[in-house]
Structure 1
Amino acid sequence: MGLFVRINAFRGVGHADVHAALAEFWSRHARRVEQVPADEWVDAFNLYEQRDGWTVMRWTSGWEWTLRRQAQLHVSEALGCAGILVFVYDGDDWGYELFDRGTAVDWFIQWPQERNTWFPGRDLSGRPEAVVAAFPDLALDRSDVAAYLVQRPDDEESDDAWDVPARAGDRFRRGDECAALDFLALLGVTVAVTEEGLGWPAPLWRRFRVEPPPADVT
């Protein structure tokens, strides 16, 4: 099984404020946010301290997709910030959902459009200018962002030319299961790769689970 990870990165807001906004969202859905001891071996959301202007949260391994994305939009709206959801699915491909002040504004997935099951009806080619506009303080170069937003070619003959590092100095090729980490590094979120797995750029601040409502037996 390849790398499977989903993370939120919120720009310019503190970790405590992100946690408070998440707790507010889940309470509206009759769900309680419960803190988990840092050393307890359970599947939990990991929220990291703000560093370099980013507050990063790693999702649990659960498959729920719709409510968690609504939660990130609530945080973005409540705190008036931009952010991004970056995910890697089974090491095969990666993608993102970009949002700003409560509205999703751009989407990208490496696989061509016809493989879309994540964001039905959306253009998945990614718009570099949207990424640049969402994070103006980073002074990103459009061409640098565009280098990562290149979808996998349909024919195998073109795959070798595509499967190269997006930019000089990158750690991974486009087809590598960790290719999304180079894109994150461009944004200023540097994730290490260790023998134990992924190493996050800031100390862990809090682990928590979202408890289901009493009537939910799933």
Structure 2
Amino acid sequence: MTEQAQNGPAPVFPPLFRGLADPDPFATGCAQARAGVDAGLVLFDLQIDRLSAAIVFAPEVPLADAAVMLPLCGVGFQNAFGAHAPPEVAVHLEWGGALRINGAVAGRLRMASDVSAPHAVPGWLVIGLELAMMGASAAPGTTPDHTNLFDEGCADVDPVLLLEAWVRHTLVWINRWADGDLRGLHAEWSGLVHGIGDPVAGQDGVFLGVDDQFGMLLKQEAGTVGVPLTALLEETQ
């Protein structure tokens, strides 16, 4: 990994997006959104060992629909990563936001908003991205369910270019979603989802898939139950 992550040029984003370097993108993004910042702010912290970023959105639809930004940003990440990583490196998405590289967790997406009621229209919604670029001191293989880009043969992936591509590809999917192409997003995400047919950690049931609003469908002894995407919202101060 080069020093460009710390000392190189600032990322360049599409029109209507603007960047701001910050050591804690997600927390600062929520604070900025709470203070009334316009949508389109991209906060980022690019280090040798990690990439952290957050995007501030201003949805004009109920939270139950706006929460689709979490899987949408996941699809945007996979598309961006596929354009910069070796073709043999696979990316899969967990419903809960985890990002898997070659089967192991290398990062996550997270979500916060100023409302929690599914039918309320948010004043803001923030999606955060965290990605391990290099590992800690543990030897490769000692934590088989966790990895990083360096250990997966992606040492040449430039974090600046990856961040730029994430925002661009996410914008493409936002436009498709805004034009009513929820089916296309479902199809793309369904080809990337991890864990269908497996028991869900922390839940009593087996992951069957998602409903039309990307809520998780759990098969339990008493039948199938749904867990809405809004259950993934984090509380912020």
Under a length normalisation based on structure 1, what TM-score does the superposition of the two structures give? Answer: 0.31
Bigger RCO (CA 8 Å, 6+ sep): 1
Under a length normalisation based on structure 2, what TM-score does the superposition of the two structures give? Answer: 0.30
